[in-house]
Structure 1
Amino acid sequence: MKKILICAALLSAFVVNPATAQKKKKRVKAQPVIQLSEEELIKQARLEQMTDATQKIMFVDSIVVDKDMFLGKYAISPESGTLCRYNEMFKNGSKPESYLHINELGNKCYFSDKDKAGNMKLYTSDRLGNQWTEPAAITVLDDDNELEQMNYPYIMTDGTTLYFAAQGSGSIGGYDIFETRYDSETGTYLKPENIGMPFNSTANDYMYAIDETAGIGWFATDRNQPEGKVCVYIFVAPETRQVYSAENYTKEQIKQFADISSIADTWGKGGERNNALNKVREIRNGNGHKEDAKNKISFVINDDVTYNSISDFKVSGNMEKFKQLNEMRALAKTLSDKIEKAREQYANGDMTVRNRLKATILANEKENEKLEMQIRQLEKDIRNSENILLNQKRANHYE
């Protein structure tokens, strides 16, 4: 009996428990290899290159705000023009997605609008008197058709450098910010360049604006933000482009700067940041006195009377006429500068250049002559109507 029990025990040792067998057969399921498309691989490579070339920027402040209200956090000075929605400027409710920038003279604007195919494009318009000219499409060299849905334009005070945001294969996310320059020789804008990081990301980044007077810039992004919110970053506009060197920073540190993980890490000792904050406050405080500055004028009515404020006009409608007069004067100056520049190019150019410029110069001179006549006539009309009223009041006083 003892031998039988021993044999049974030995036999049971060789019998595999079903549960144990299942455990032994269980294998870890292999993860599928994700195959990236060629476009995704190109975008990934571009992202890595941009990260390595992240620009060294000091971020002064950041403000989270509702997406529809982000422009309210920008505070560019009058010398840098005016930023607003297209609908606010033209009282038109049909273009809620269009944004507009008017130059500092108030006689030229840049804005976005949909074409017939529904793709957002950039346009410009000039102010002649109290009317805006028909919009003209801005021709941007984009031979590879990398950009679409162009929006959020901003023209620098040089009248040549244009910033805007666009989607498409040229971006690393949704909207990216691009820079281009006007080529007076061809009458087009050069191929736009992605301005890189930290301004751009895999999220939407847009409305890049620089106040050159204060040296302060703004841009908006929805990176790391909940739906319906954006972050407006205020930064010190760099005089020259500097990048984070791989010799002084690790790859991870550069990536954090690219992602704007902490604006405090860009402050240094803090002195420059405090100066920048003071400039931002000065701009915001100055914005409240824009109308006072605009109201200061010097307009001779007669030998004894000179108006020093726009509110001095007595005749109904003359305030608006004087504003129109200033706009015409600004336009005449712009046109004169344009003619002078064309004359210089004509003098230094070869026969081909001269033939091309001759008709343009003559046409602009004719337009400028007509504009100067309109200016003189409008000045005369304003002056005469004011003198008539002043003389009537003087006569009534002595009666």
Structure 2
Amino acid sequence: MINFRYIKLILATLTIFIAIDMVAQEKSYTAKEALVLFKDGNYIEAEKAYESLLVRYSREIKYNYYYGICLIQNNNDLKQAVKSLKYAALKGVSRDAYYYLGRAYQLTYRFEEAIQQYERFLKYASASDIRNEKAILYKQQCEFGLQQSAKIYQLDVYERDTVDIQSLLQAYHPAADVGKISHNEDFFESGLEPKGVLYLTERGDEVYFSMKKKEQAYGLYKMEKLLDGWSESEELSGINTLSNEKYPFVVIDGSTIYFSSDREGGLGGYDLYKAAYDVENKTFTDPVNMGIPFNSPKDDYLFVADEFNEVAWFASNRETNDSISIVYAIEWNDGVVKNFVQDENEVMARAAMSLSGNTYQTKNDNGSDDDAKSNENTDQFYFVVADTLEYRRFEHFQSEQAREMFEGGLQLEHQKDSLSDLMYKKREAYARTNSDAERSMLVNEILLMEKKVYGLDEKIEKSFYQAKSIEQSKIKELLASGLYTSSTQVKVTQKKQDSFEDILIPTEFTFYTDDEFARQLEELEKLYLALFTSEQVEQLHHADSLFIWGNILNLESSTMLEDAGETTDSNGSLISVIRTKDSLDEESAVQSQVIKAKELKVTSLKLYHASLDSKFSIYDEKLKELTLTNTVDDLSELRELRASANEYYKEAIGMIDVKQGFDVVRYEKSGAIKRTGVGVQEQALKKYTELKGNETLPVESEVNSNVPKTYQELQGYDVEKDNPAKVVEQAFAKTNKGLVYKIQIGVFRNEPNAGAVAKIPAISKTNIPNKDLTKYFAGNYDTYSKAQKDVSAVKAAGFEGAFVVVFKDGQQIKLTDELKN
């Protein structure tokens, strides 16, 4: 049964509350009450009071004056503040009105009118007026704003989130690859303002933050991650001033930093600035104010860019009070440029940051749009699991772990592609600009971005390799249990064996080796049997055979030249040889012999290159497999040796310029460098067998006693220690006993200056394990004296600390007086 008395009681209570609320809303103020509120600094209530009074007395000068000041203090309806204060000033309420009207004009981006009002105030203000200093500062800000307002950015605003300061970071949603912004208290245990904002790089190896300087203002600092903790805080060079610098954010390639500062020369409050990193001078360039509409006469701060999704965020209190901010999400790509504006109304309209109506989409882990759906009939990727098996869709994977590992590799690959695309855009921007300052900034950005791109290669390779290994193990497991079924099997064309049909090996030459090379083959055979499959061993034997035939032909070439009266110098003139002969018949015979000798020399070099290319490929694949699959042992030395070998090979390939035609001297030097690279690989593989212990090596079989005779013995020569005629060593070793002298130009975290590098001999480099540092070297010399001659030129190019070092078999050793001589 319904209780009507109860309902009536409720209705009566509600009526009372509504009545009380209406009375409260219609509360009237006296002029005295309004003035008390104003003088007490209660501008919110004072605004209500004067608004109420103006309803009844709209032309009262003082009410308009105080009402306009309240609107400025509350940052509310600034257009109305201009109207009220302009009316009060015209009526002569007080000369102070010029000050507040100037401020109202400034906050509405009418900088020219604001300057006029500040000048009027300063003309009549007493010397003791505490507002003089602010009026001068505001006037300077307006002068800067007047310059900036001629050409401003047109921003596409996706979102506007109103948040309190404590919840500010919740409005930012950058991709994980961009890095992380968080509060100091989430990273530091103590010592810094808990709610201060810091930036942690995407690799987690550097943290940027603000803290109090000696001058008691805030400055920007960073720390780097070390093996056993974090480094001491380091002040950012080129950034800090006597004013406050806060809210750092560094783009993914480390080339540019964004931050906020209340330094002089801005629009007012905290402004957003950006600065490029100068790699050569190890400092940031002069910061540049980002201008309107990024900046306003109020506080603008915490700019965060997500270049993968082409979106950025920044915060401002231009439309709120000091405890509330609006976080704007905007389009951020190369299309964001400055445009000329027609009038001051356009400046204010753009600075208002109204929503454009467009939206943005972030990328998922695979780099595609969140709402994109895969077509079932479309290949998603191409992944070779084995020689006869390839996957094109994620559902083809038998192992979930392998799939996750592969997806991780794809994500890194997409990240690399995105960075490569950004590099392309930066290069296009470099080609378009005519500004030297912008070109300098772009060069630094491109160099740092290149380093970032190249650093991803190893991570991608490791992810794909592990995915392949895990998937192969899963397939073997399923095959053993009879449960394997495959949705897709595609035959992959096998790589054909290199053909040597174009290389003529004369039948009159017999198999050759010498004692030293036979010993080396014995050692290599142990290595082959310990680490390689039977198929790989067969390929390595074939490569060794090519190398041996290269020795045979090279020695025969040298012998023929000696018989013709030629020295062992392959650069000797054919004419000088012929002129030593007495008759025309002899000249013809000598000419024929010299030509044949040089043909044999070229053939021997081709065999050398074919042999070394084959071995390098097999060795590199094995080293990659060992370093990726062995997670127990410390293989940092193997990785360093592999990287060193790859650098030698890149240098060797770079020496052969097809466009310039065949150059036998450069071809021979290139082969020598390749041989050094293969030697470094063999050194790494031997170290691995030593690391694993002798028990991993096969039982040594008796060496075949039927060792072929040496070349000298086959030719009927006496073998003497004083006349070894080791042509192999002459042809393929750049220095005696495997020594290579280089000029160390320095140890760098980033790439050395490209302009300086162009002035010195070709560079090579080795990474210092676990330190993110790289040693750079210039040139390759067979003696210390030759290297020392070039040191002064290297220093003149800008590398003041250059000095000579020595390598043996690809490993840097101590440079003793004996080695110098």
- TM-score grouping bracket, smaller chain normalisation: 0.5 to 0.7
Whether 1:254 and 2:351 are equivalent positions in the alignment is no
Q: How does 1:202-213 map to 2 (within 5 A)?
A: 202-213=297-308
Counterpart of 1:62? 160
- 1:123 equivalent in structure 2: 221
Residue 94 to residue 182, structure 1, CA distance change in 2 (3 Å): closer
Figure out how many residues of one structure are paired with residues of the other and give that number.
Answer: 291
- 2:239 corresponds to 1:136: no
**Aligned-partner residue type, residue 355 of structure 1:** F
Structure 1's consecutive aligned runs of 4 or more residues displaced over 4 angstroms after TM superposition are 28-31, 280-283, 295-300, 303-308, 336-340, 343-346
> Aligned residue for 2:435?
none
The structure with the greater share of residues assigned to strand is 1
Structure 2: distance between partners of 1:259 and 1:225: 12
The one-letter code of the counterpart of 1:258 is: A
Cα distance, 1:122 vs. partner?
Answer: 0.7
Task: Give the Cα–Cα distance (whole angstroms) in 2 for the partners of residues 255 and 86 of structure 1.
Answer: 35
Distance in 2 (alpha carbons) for counterparts of 1:225 and 1:40: 20
Distance change >3 Å, CA 232–CA 166, structure 1 → 2: same
3-state SS of paired residue (1:170)? coil
Question: By how many angstroms is 1:141 displaced?
Answer: 5.6
Report the AA paired with residue 228 of structure 1: S
Partner of residue 139 from structure 2, selected from 24, 34, 41: 41
Return the match for 1:106 from 192, 200, 204.
204
Q: Which residue of 2 aligns with 1:389?
A: none
Aligned residue in 2 for 1:356:
800
- Distance of aligned partners of 1:347 and 1:59 in 2 relative to their CA distance in 1, 3 Å threshold: same
With normalisation by structure 1, the TM-score equals 0.62
- Could you tell me how far apart the structure 1 residues matched to 2:314 and 2:146 are? 22
Question: Contact 1:125 / 1:132 at 8 angstroms: preserved in 2?
Answer: yes
Match of 2:328 among 233, 237, 241: 233
**8 Å Cα contact 1:54/1:258 also seen in 2:** no
- CA deviation after TM superposition for structure 1 residue 102, in Å: 1.4
Q: Cα distance 1:116–1:34, how it changes in 2: closer, same or farther (>3 A)?
A: same
Give how far 1:29 is off: 4.8
The 3-state SS of whatever aligns with 2:152 is coil
Measured at CA, do residues 258 and 357 of structure 1 come closer, stay the same or move farther in structure 2, by a change above 3 Å?
A: farther
**CA shift for structure 1 position 56:** 0.9
* Contact 1:122 1:153 (C-alpha < 8 Å) held by counterparts: yes
Distance 1:231 1:358, change over 3 A: farther
Whichever residue aligns with residue 209 of structure 1, its letter is V
- Partner of 1:90, secondary structure, is coil
Task: Give the TM-score normalised by structure 2.
Answer: 0.32
Q: Taking structure 1 as reference, are residues 357 and 84 closer, same or farther at Cα in structure 2, changes over 3 Å only?
A: farther
2:248 equivalent to 1:153? yes
Give the drift of 1:113.
1.0
Stretch deviating more after TM superposition (174-183 or 108-117): 108-117
Change (3 A) 1:75 1:39: same
RMSD (Å), alpha carbons: 4.0
**Matched residues in 1 for 2:305 and 2:747: separation?**
24
C-alpha change, 1:131 and 1:59, in structure 2 (3 Å) is: same
Q: Deviations over 1:55-75 (max 9, x none)?
A: 011010000111011011111
Structure 2 counterparts to residues 174-253 of structure 1, below 5 A: 174-246=269-341, 249-253=342-346
Change (3 A) 1:348 1:233: same
User: Residue 362 of structure 2 corresponds to which residue in structure 1?
Assistant: 279
Describe the shift of the 1:280–1:208 C-alpha distance in structure 2 as closer, same or farther (beyond 3 A). farther
Distance 1:124 1:178 in 2: 18
- Match of 1:34, SS state, is helix
Preserved contact between residue 277 and residue 283 of structure 2 (Cα < 8 Å): yes
Give the distance between the partners of 1:178 and 1:53, measured in 2 at CA: 17
Structure 1 position 140, deviation (Å): 1.4
Q: Deviations over 1:29-84 (max 9, x none)?
A: 57534127544332111112222322011010000111011011111111101111
Q: 1:148 to 1:356 in 2, by over 3 A?
A: farther
- Cα deviations by residue, 1:9-30 (Å, 9 ceiling, x for unpaired): xxxxxxxxxxxxxxxxxxx757
- Offset, 1:120: 0.7
Residues 342 and 357, structure 1, Cα contact 8 Å, conserved in 2: no
Specify whether residues 344 and 226 from structure 1 end up closer, same or farther in structure 2 by C-alpha distance, changes over 3 A only: closer
CA distance in 2, matches of 1:243, 1:41: 24
The whole-number CA distance in structure 2 between the counterparts of 1:256 and 1:105 is 40
Which of the residues 157, 175, 182 maps onto 1:77? 175
- Contact residue 184 and residue 192 of structure 2 kept, 8 A: no
Show structure 2 runs of 5+ residues with no match: 1-90, 96-119, 123-131, 371-403, 409-461, 475-630, 644-745, 760-793, 806-811, 813-821
Residue identity opposite 2:145 in structure 1? L
The 8 Å contact of residues 274 and 288 in structure 2, kept in 1 or not, is answered as: yes
Q: CA deviation at 1:130?
A: 5.0
8 Å CA contact retained: 1:67, 1:229: yes
1:395 is matched with none
Structure 1 runs not aligned, ≥5 long: 1-27, 287-291, 309-320, 363-368, 370-399
CA contact (8 A) 2:206 2:224 kept: yes
The 8 Å contact of residues 99 and 111 in structure 1, kept in 2 or not, is answered as yes
Partner of 2:752: 342
**Largest Rg, 1 or 2:** 2
CA shift at 1:127, angstroms?
0.9
8 Å Cα contact 1:138-1:188 kept in structure 2: yes
Amino acid of the structure 2 residue aligned with 1:49: Q
**Offset, 1:119:** 1.4
Q: Report deviation, 1:193.
A: 0.8
Corresponding residue of 2:386: none
Is the CA contact 1:87–1:93 (under 8 Å) kept in the aligned structure 2? no
Task: Please give the alpha-carbon distance, in whole angstroms, between the structure 2 residues aligned to 1:51 and 1:99.
Answer: 30
- The alignment partner of 1:126 has SS state of strand
Contact 2:138 2:268 in 1 (8 A): no
CA contact (8 A) 2:307 2:333 kept: no
Using a 3 Å threshold, how does the CA distance of structure 1 residues 307 and 181 change in structure 2: closer, same or farther?
A: farther
Q: Distance in 2 between matches of 1:184 and 1:65?
A: 38
Return the match for 2:150 from 52, 57, 66. 52
1:280–1:221: structure 2 CA closer, same or farther, 3 Å change rule? farther
- Offset at 1:256? 1.4
CA contact (8 A) 1:120 1:151 kept: yes
| Matched letter for residue 253 of structure 1 | E
Partner deviation per Cα, 1:303-348 (whole Å, 9 max, x = no partner): 999999xxxxxxxxxxxx99xx99xx9xxx9xx9956722855532
- Give the Å deviation of 1:189: 0.9
1:183, CA displacement in angstroms? 1.1
**Structure 1 or 2: larger helix share?**
2
Q: C-alpha displacement at 1:231, in angstroms?
A: 0.7
Contact kept in structure 2, 1:75 and 1:280, CA below 8 Å: no
C-alpha separation between the residues in 2 aligned to 1:339 and 1:230? 39
Paired amino acid for 2:251: M
